[in-house]
């Protein structure tokens, strides 16, 4: 049976997820460090790509040339946009990923579409990656059944993180996004190249648009994201 690949950006996101696994073994795959383990009878690979789109796309692609999972489960933290309905530590499931750095410059926060697609088997609008609807529905049902109160909606990927409330509000108003992150679109793009289903789950670590330390709680977000991952694995979520 094919494994599930859990993808995180930083070690802080990976550590509480690793604690959910048994029979773990540290290994090298194509020169990259990977944790192999099991949860609820399923074989799992846990991989930390490093933060940002370039690390995610490059290293995930190398890994997928050797490992062929049935599902990529991307998990970590993110910033909540105003009006998203999320709270600190809340769980969010992506219905799509939108890369705001891909396209033509426009007067709005949304780039205008390029005149060509970036993927033969991907969306026609560059930078827009719809999630698998059945996976999102299954994940939401599982998380609700565990009383984890998830919210679903579009996620935005930015290499240049929002640091003002005005910018965060503008992105929310023009995209309807609920979560800001730095890796999702790269993972969705790479997964599409390899024809592998992907599901993205994040926990809120901060309000988008602020760098004040007192507004952030990474530790709780890491733990909550891991709790969500555990629920999905134990329910044997399938693509």
pLDDT of residue 109: 83
- Quick check: is 33 in a domain? yes
10 Å Cβ neighbour count for 26?
A: 11
Q: What CATH number did the domain enclosing 45 receive?
A: 3.40.50.1580
- Quick check: is 75 in a domain? yes
- Quick check: is 171 in a domain? yes
Tell me the whole-structure pTM to 2 decimals. Answer: 0.94
pLDDT of residue 14: 98
pLDDT of residue 168: 93
10 Å Cβ neighbour count for 213?
A: 8
Residues, the chain = 239
Q: Which domain holds residue 120?
A: 4-234
- Quick check: is 189 in a domain? yes
pLDDT tens per residue, range 165-186:
999 999 999 999 999 999 999 9
- Quick check: is 82 in a domain? yes
- Quick check: is 103 in a domain? yes
10 Å Cβ neighbour count for 144?
A: 12
- pLDDT level of residue 39 (50, 70, 90 thresholds): very high
The token pair at 237 is 């979520």
Is-contact 109 100, C-beta < 8 A?
A: yes
pLDDT tens per residue, range 90-143:
999 999 999 988 888 888 887 877 777 777 755 556 688 999 999 999 999 999
If one counts the domains in the chain, the total is 1
Residues 6 or more apart whose CB falls under 8 angstroms from that of 137 comprise none
- Quick check: is 239 in a domain? no
Q: What are phi and psi of 137, to 5 degrees?
A: -60, -45
- Quick check: is 132 in a domain? yes
Is-contact 157 97, C-beta < 8 A?
A: yes
């Amino acid at each position: 049976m094919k494994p599930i690949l859990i993808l995180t950006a930083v070690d802080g996101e990976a550590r509480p997820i690793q604690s959910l696994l048994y029979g773990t073994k540290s290994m090298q795959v194509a020169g990259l460090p990977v944790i192999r383990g099991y949860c609820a009878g399923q074989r799992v690979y846990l991989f930390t790509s490093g933060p940002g789109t370039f690390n995610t796309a490059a290293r995930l692609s190398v890994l997928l040339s050797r490992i062929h999972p049935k599902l990529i489960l991307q998990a970590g933290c993110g910033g909540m946009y105003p009006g998203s309905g999320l709270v600190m530590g809340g769980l969010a499931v992506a219905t799509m990923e939108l890369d705001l750095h891909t396209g033509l410059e426009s007067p709005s926060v949304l780039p205008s579409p390029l005149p060509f697609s970036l993927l033969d088997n991907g969306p026609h609008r560059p930078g827009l990656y719809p999630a698998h609807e059945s996976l999102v529905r299954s994940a939401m049902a599982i998380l609700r059944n565990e009383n984890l109160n998830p919210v679903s909606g579009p996620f935005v990927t930015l290499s240049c993180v929002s640091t003002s409330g005005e910018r965060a509000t503008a992105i929310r108003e023009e995209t309807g996004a609920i979560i800001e992150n730095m890796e999702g679109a790269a993972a969705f793009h790479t997964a599409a190249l390899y024809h592998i289903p992907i599901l993205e789950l994040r926990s809120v670590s901060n309000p988008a648009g602020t760098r004040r330390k007192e507004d952030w709680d990474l530790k709780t977000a890491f733990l909550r994201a891991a709790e969500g991952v555990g629920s999905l694995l134990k329910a044997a979520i399938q693509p």
